[in-house]
Amino acid sequence: MTRDTAAAARQKARIVLIGTGGTIAGRGASPVNTSAYDCSVLSIDDILADLPVADSLADITTEQLFQVGSENFGNVQLLQLGKRIASLLERDDIDGIVVTHGTDTIDETAYFLHLTLKSPKPVVVVGAMRPPSALSSDGPLNLYNAIVVAASRLAHGKGTLVVSNDEIHTARDVVKTNTFKQDAFKSPYGPLGFVVEGKPVFYRLPARPHTVDSEWSINEIEALSHVGVVYAHGGMNDAIVRAILDSGVKAVIYAATGNGNVAVSIVASLVEARKRGIHVVRGSRTGGGVVIRNAAQPDDLYDWLVTDDQPAHKARILMMLALTREHCTRKLQDVFWRY
C-alpha cells in the first residue's frame, strides 16, 4: 500500500451496517415480482455483497440483529435495536450507523431512535420498496446513498435520518405514503436534502429537539407502556374503543376525522377512558395539518391531549416515551408541542 493509499484508507468513515430484514433483504420468484415476494431472506452480508462499490465509500462492518419484516417490530425490538446502536455510537472507532429495515414501520423505528440516541453521530435507516431480485430494485441505490450520508460530516447533529429515492428525510416528519411506488416516503415539509451524484446536499435542518437535546435516553429505558391507536370512520360505534381500553393500554391515540373531530357515539367511551386513568390523545386521520386544542372538542374539560401535527402511529411513539417520565396531562401536552 502506498503512502497516499494508506492516508485515504485512514480518512474513510467507519460505518456499522446493521441488518434487520425487510424488503431490502427480500427475494421474489420472478424479476417482475415487485410487490409479491419473500421478505427478509437475505443476510446483511448478502445485501452488501451486491454493492461492491460500498468499500470505496467507507470502512464497513456488518451485524445481523434481526431478520424480520418490520410489521413484526414491537417494543422489544425497538429497545434492543436502540440499545445496540447506543453502545456502538459510544465507540471512538465508529463514525456512523446504517440500519437496513422494512419500510412498513421504518418511520416509527427511525423516530424512536431520533428521540432516544444521545449522540450527534449520523444514524441512517434505509429500506427498499422492491426486493433485490426485482427489475429496477431501489435497494442498492438506497443503501449506497445511506452509506454516503452516514459517512458525511454534513449529517452530524441532524438526528436519525431516513434515506430513500435520493431524498434525505428527518425521522420526525417522514411517513410512508404508498404501498408499492418507489417514491413512497414523504415529509409534510419536504426532505432535509438530497443525494446528488453520490454526494449529500442539505437545504434545511430539523426544527424540533432530538438526540442530544431530547429528554429521553435509550440507556435509561427498560420498558415502554402499551399505547393503542383507534382509527375513526363514519357510522362508528364505541365497541372497538372499549375493547382497546380493556387491553391494558396506558393511552390511546384517536385518529379522528378532520381536525380531530370525535363523533357523539364515541365521546362517552373516551371520557370514561380518562376516568380510568388512560390518557386520550386526539389526532387526525387526514395525514396532514395541526389538530387544535379545545377546538373540535373541549379538551380541557375532558383532560384530553392533542397530537399537534403528528400522525397517529408516530404520536404513539412519542406518547410511549413521554409516559416513561411523565403522567401529568399538562406536561404531556407540552411534550407534543415541543417535539
Q: Which of 230, 223, 240 is nearest to 313 (CA)?
A: 230
254 Rama class: left (phi>0) / alpha (psi -120 to 50) / beta? beta
* Residue 305 burial class via C-beta count within 10 angstroms: exposed 0-12, middle 13-18, buried 19 and up: buried
Fill in the DSSP letter of residue 292: P
Q: In the sheet that 123-126 helps form, which strands lie side by side, from edge to edge?
A: 58-64, 13-19, 96-100, 123-126, 160-164, 167-170, 193-196, 199-202
117 Rama class: left (phi>0) / alpha (psi -120 to 50) / beta? beta
In angstroms, the CA 255 to CA 137 distance is 34
In angstroms, the CA 336 to CA 319 distance is 8
309 Rama class: left (phi>0) / alpha (psi -120 to 50) / beta? alpha
Query: CA torsion angle for 249, 255, 257, 260 (degrees, to 10)?
Result: 80
- Please, what is the Cα angle at 236 between 233 and 240, to 5 degrees? 100
Q: Which of 23, 34, 100, 105 is catalytic?
A: 23
Q: Which of 20, 103, 170, 211 is catalytic?
A: 103
* Residue 300 burial class via C-beta count within 10 angstroms: exposed 0-12, middle 13-18, buried 19 and up: exposed
Active site includes 179? Answer: no
Residue 103 known to bind ligand: yes
Active site includes 257? Answer: no
Residue 70 known to bind ligand: yes
| Amino acid present at 300 | D
Cite the beta strand spans of the chain per DSSP E.
Answer: 13-19, 58-64, 96-100, 123-126, 160-164, 167-170, 175-176, 185-186, 193-196, 199-202, 227-231, 251-256, 279-284, 305-306
What residues are designated binding site? 70, 103-104
What residues are designated binding site for substrate? 70, 103-104
**What is the set of active-site residues?**
23, 103
